[in-house]
Chain A
Amino acid sequence: MSSNSPTGPSAGPGADGRSATHFVASLDETPLVETDTVQVSERPSNLWIDAWRDLRVRPMFWISAALIVLVIIVALMPWLFTQTPPNNDCHLSNSNAGPAAGHPLGFTKQGCDIYSRIINGTSTSVSVGFIVIVLTTLLGVVFGAFAGFYGGWVDSILSRLGDIFFSIPYILAAVVIMSVLSQYRSVWSISLAIGVFAWPQTARVLRSEILRVKNADYVMASSALGLSRFKILLKHVLPNSIAPVIVITTISLAAAIVAEASLSFLGVGLGSDIMSWGNDINNAQNDLRTNPQTLILPSIALSLTVFAFISLGEVARDALDPKARALR
Chain B
Amino acid sequence: MTGYILRRVLQAIPVFLGTTFLIYFMVFAMPGDPILALFPGRSPDPAVVAQLRAQYHLDQPFIVQYFIYLGGILQGNFGLTFSGEAINDVLARTFPVTARLAGLALTFLAISGILVGLVSGLRKGKLFDATSLAVSLLLISLPIFVIAFVAQFVFGIQLGWARTTVGSGAPTADLILPAVVLASASFAQIMRLTRASVIETAGLDFVRTAYSKGLSRGRVIPVHILRNSLIPVVTYLGTDFGTLLVGATITEGIFNVPGVGNTLFQAIKRGEGPTVVSFVTVMVLLYLVVNLLVDLLYGLLDPRIRYVK
Contacts and interface: CB of A to CB of B under 8 A. Distances in A.
Task: Please say whether chains A and B are actual partners in one complex.
Answer: yes
A183 B19 CA distance: 25
Interface stretch (B134-142, B169-177, B227-235): B134-142
B141 A165 contact: no
A303 B146 contact: yes
A172 B283 contact: yes
B196 interface: yes
A306 B271 CA distance: 28
Contacts of A176: 23, 26-27, 276-277, 280
B167 interface: no
Interface in B222-280: 242-243, 245-246, 250, 253-254, 265, 268-269, 271, 273, 276-277, 280
B153 interface: yes
- Please classify the interface of chain A as helix (H, G, I), strand (E, B), loop, or mixed, using the class held by over half of its residues: helix
Contacts of B283: 169, 172
B37 interface: yes
Contacts of A169: 242-243, 245-246, 283-284, 287
A327 B200 CA distance: 8
A267 interface: yes
A92 to B, nearest CB: 24
Given A169-B242, A172-B280, A181 B15 contact: no
B53 to A, nearest CB: 16
A180 to B, nearest CB: 5
B60 to A, nearest CB: 19
A88 to B, nearest CB: 23
A75 interface: no
A160 B15 contact: yes
Given A172-B246, A182-B271, A266-B250, A303 B22 contact: no
Nearest to B195: A327
Interface residues of B, number: 56
B141 A310 contact: yes
A261 interface: yes
B110 interface: no
Interface in A294-328: 295-296, 299, 302-304, 306-307, 310-311, 314, 326-328
B37 A167 contact: no
B22 A168 contact: yes
Contacts of A131: none
A238 interface: no
Contacts of B15: 160, 163-164, 167
Interface residues of A, number: 47
A180 B30 contact: yes
Contacts of A296: 149-150, 153
Interface string A173-199: 101110111111000000000000000
B143 interface: yes
Interface string A247-282: 000000010001001100111100000000000010
Interface stretch (A11-19, A26-34, A115-123, A285-293): A285-293
B143 A183 contact: no
Contacts of A182: 37-38, 40-41, 271
Contacts of B245: 169, 172
A173 B242 contact: no
A65 interface: no
A314 B124 CA distance: 18
Given A168-B19, A173-B280, A184-B31, 8 more contacts: A169-B242, A169-B287, A179-B271, A266-B269, A267-B268, A285-B149, A288-B153, A306-B141
Interface of B: 14-15, 18-19, 22-23, 26-27, 30-32, 34, 37-38, 40-41, 124-125, 137-138, 140-146, 149-150, 152-153, 157, 164, 195-196, 199, 242-243, 245-246, 250, 253-254, 265, 268-269, 271, 273, 276-277, 280, 283-284, 287-288, 291
26 contacts: A160-B15, A160-B18, A163-B18, A168-B19, A168-B284, A172-B242, A172-B245, A172-B246, A176-B27, A177-B30, A180-B273, A181-B30, A182-B37, A258-B143, A262-B143, A265-B250, A266-B265, A266-B269, A267-B268, A268-B268, A281-B146, A288-B152, A292-B157, A295-B149, A306-B141, A306-B143
Interface of A: 160-161, 163-165, 167-169, 171-173, 175-177, 179-184, 254, 258, 261-262, 265-268, 281, 285, 288-289, 292, 295-296, 299, 302-304, 306-307, 310-311, 314, 326-328
